[in-house]
Amino acid sequence: MKKQNKRGQAMVEYIIIVVLVAIAALAVFAAFSDTIRNKLSGAVTEMDNGTGASAAQAAAGTRSQDTLKNLTATGTGQ
């Protein structure tokens, strides 16, 4: 009976670790989301000098919080 309790305890510990890593990853992504957006828009600009580049630069000019505020119920912009 004790062996089964240790097995369950180990599983709970692994789940807690996975949850903590996921929360840390979300926090890091939230902190650097604007930087990541700017880097990606710079890469798109270098690869595509057409209309995609101007759209990427326009998207990079907005903050992530502003983009989230402007989403509709379907997840698209206005």
**73 located within any domain:** no
**53 located within any domain:** yes
Asked if pLDDT for residue 78 goes beyond 60, the answer is no
CA pair distance 77, 69, nearest whole angstrom:
9
pLDDT value of residue 30: 84
Mean pLDDT to the nearest integer, 44-72: 66
pTM of the shown model: 0.46
Q: Which domain holds residue 17?
A: 2-66
pLDDT value of residue 19: 96
Average pLDDT, the chain: 74
pLDDT value of residue 53: 61
**78 located within any domain:** no
Here the tokens at position 19 are: 């949850």
Asked if pLDDT for residue 16 goes beyond 90, the answer is yes
CA pair distance 14, 10, nearest whole angstrom:
6
| Number of domains composing the chain | 1
- Name the one residue in this structure whose structure tokens are 């326009």: 58
